[in-house]
Amino acid sequence: MTEMDPSKKVADRYLKREVLGEGTYGVVYKAIDTKTGQTVAIKKIRLGKQKEGINFTALREIKLLKELKDPNIIELIDAFPHKGNLHLVFEFMETDLEAVIRDRNIFLSPADIKSYIQMTLKGLAFCHKKWVLHRDMKPNNLLIGPNGQLKLADFGLARIFGSPDRKFTHQVFARWYRAPELLFGTKQYGSGVDVWAAACIFAELLLRRPFLQGTSDIDQLGKIFAAFGTPTSSQWPDMVYLPDYVEYQYVPAPPLRSLFPMASDDALDLLSKMFTYDPKVRISVQQALEHRYFSSAPPPTDPPKLPRPNPKSRVSDYNPQEGPTVLSPPRKSRRVMPDRDRFEGNSDQAEKVDDRVGERQAVGDIAGKNEQVPMSIDFSIFGSKPLSRPTINSFRMSLVLACRNRLSMDQASKGLSHHLGLSSRSIVQTFFLNK
* DSSP codes joined into one string, 298-328: SPPPPGGGS----HHHHHTT-BTTTB----S
Q: Which domains does the chain have, with CATH numbers?
A: 6-91 (3.30.200.20), 95-305 (1.10.510.10)
Q: Is 24 annotated as a binding residue?
A: yes
Q: Is 20 annotated as a binding residue?
A: yes
Rounded to the nearest 10 degrees, how much is the dihedral formed by the CA atoms of 11, 14, 15, 20? -100
Q: Determine which one of 96, 136, 194, 217 is catalytic.
A: 136
Q: Is 354 a catalytic residue?
A: no
298: cis peptide before it, omega within 30°?
yes
Residue 204 and residue 191: Cα distance in Å, rounded?
20
Contact 120, 197 (CB under 8 A): no
Tell me the pLDDT of the chain (435 aa) as tens digits. Answer: 445 556 667 778 999 888 988 866 678 999 999 999 999 999 998 776 544 556 677 888 899 999 999 999 999 999 988 888 899 999 999 999 999 999 999 999 999 999 999 999 999 999 999 999 999 999 999 999 999 999 999 998 999 999 888 999 999 999 999 999 999 999 999 999 999 999 999 999 999 999 999 999 999 999 999 999 999 999 999 999 999 999 999 999 999 999 999 999 999 999 999 999 999 999 999 999 999 999 999 999 999 999 999 865 443 343 434 444 333 344 443 333 333 333 333 434 443 444 433 333 333 333 333 343 333 334 343 444 445 555 444 444 454 444 444 444 444 445 444 444 444 444 434 443 344
* Residue-level length of the chain: 435
Helices (H), 163-250: 180-183, 192-207, 217-228
- For the stretch 38-76, what's the b/e string if a residue is b when 16 or more beta carbons lie within 10 angstroms of its beta carbon? eebbbbbbebeeeeeeebebbebbbebbeebebebbbbb
Q: Is 116 annotated as a binding residue?
A: no
Q: Is 39 annotated as a binding residue?
A: no
Contact 60, 45 (CB under 8 A): no
Residue 332 and residue 390: Cα distance in Å, rounded?
11
Q: How many CA atoms lie within 13 A of 398 on its CB side?
A: 18
Rounded to the nearest 10 degrees, how much is the dihedral formed by the CA atoms of 334, 340, 341, 347? -70
Contact 178, 214 (CB under 8 A): no
Residue 47 and residue 59: Cα distance in Å, rounded?
11
> Is 228 exposed, middle or buried (CB count within 10 Å of its CB: 0-12, 13-18, 19+)?
buried
